[in-house]
Amino acid sequence: MPPVIAITDPFDPRVAAYRDIKERDLVGRQGLFIAEGEVVLRAFVRAAPARVVSVLVAEKRLPKLAEILADLPPQTPVYAAGQAVLDAVAGFELHRGVLAVGRKPAPAAADTLLAGFRGRATVLALFGIANHDNLGGLFRNATAFGVDGVILDSDCCDPLYRKAIRVSVGATLGVPTAWLAPGQDAVALLAGHGFAALALSPAATETLAQLKRPERAAVLLGAEGPGLPAEILAKARAIGIPMAGGFDSLNVATTSGVVLHHLMFAAD
């Protein structure tokens, strides 16, 4: 395990990156991000230990975290502080007692991600998802149901925002993720790489229960309320989930779970 560095002053410059994290989340971190909680730290270290810049934890949690911290590169700073100092640094009561600063990877292009898949594959393509809770839930489901990659359009929020990471229980740190360029034709791009574009829509006449799994499937989901853009629905294969009592839609993260579960077990 890297040596532990004691922090007794909340204004110690060595932990400046952790200061007032709620407010600083709103303006960005110049290529860095904050991960919070033991489960998230474990997922981060498992997925990309070299991208962990430093760790700040409550002293009392060190014994429990020793196994995770042992997997960090030996030069990674590990800071430990009493709970009062930790809270003063973060700017709120940090009950989880675990923070890490990570380095963001360079944004990947959707075309590059898709070109790397061979044979059977599933991707999740998201459009206009601006709610961090929903985005985190979508990534969590993507991991749970074995999605090979997630594609985001330019209107989606940042999957490495602290809340999105936390809601995803660290899944946003491990799922291969790429971005569409503004105005890029997502359906044509997917088709060019052999993916069937399955657009979830309440207006669809084909139901999910009728769907036989394509060899290469792309699940397209839009923001709650507006849904998918009309130009995407016009080009993709629309799939619906019938509901009782005239109800027409589910939360977008819930929808992803239903669809991805079906694809995992549906007949080809």
**Spatial strand order in the sheet of 216-222:** 177-179, 149-152, 121-127, 216-222, 196-200, 237-239
110-265 falls under which CATH superfamily? Answer: SPOUT methyltransferase, trefoil knot domain (3.40.1280.10)
pLDDT, tens only, 239-258: 999 888 777 778 999 999 99
CATH fit for domain 4-103, picks 3.30.1330.30, 3.50.50.60, 3.30.930.10, 3.40.50.2300:
3.30.1330.30
Q: Which residues fall within 8 angstroms of residue 245, CB to CB, at 6 or more apart?
A: none
- Choose between 182 and 27: higher pLDDT: 182
Amino acid identity of residue 45, one-letter, is: V
- Indicate where the chain has its CATH 3.40.1280.10 domain(s): 110-265
Predicted confidence band of residue 23 (pLDDT cuts 50, 70, 90): low
Residue 27 pLDDT > 50, yes or no?
Answer: no
- What pTM does this model have? 0.91
Predicted confidence band of residue 31 (pLDDT cuts 50, 70, 90): confident
Residue 212 pLDDT > 80, yes or no?
Answer: yes
- Indicate where the chain has its CATH 3.30.1330.30 domain(s): 4-103
Q: What is the largest CA-CA distance in the chain?
A: 63
**Predicted pLDDT of residue 26:** 46
Taking residues 126-137, report their average pLDDT.
96
Within 10-90, residue ranges assigned H as helices are: 21-25, 38-47, 62-69, 83-90
pLDDT, tens only, 42-99: 999 999 999 999 999 999 999 999 999 999 999 999 999 999 999 999 988 888 899 9
Q: Which of 5-9, 137-141, 189-193, 221-225 has the lowest mean pLDDT?
A: 221-225
Sign of CA dihedral 144, 147, 153, 154: positive
- Which residue carries 């799922």 as its tokens? 175
**Predicted pLDDT of residue 267:** 63
**Predicted pLDDT of residue 247:** 76
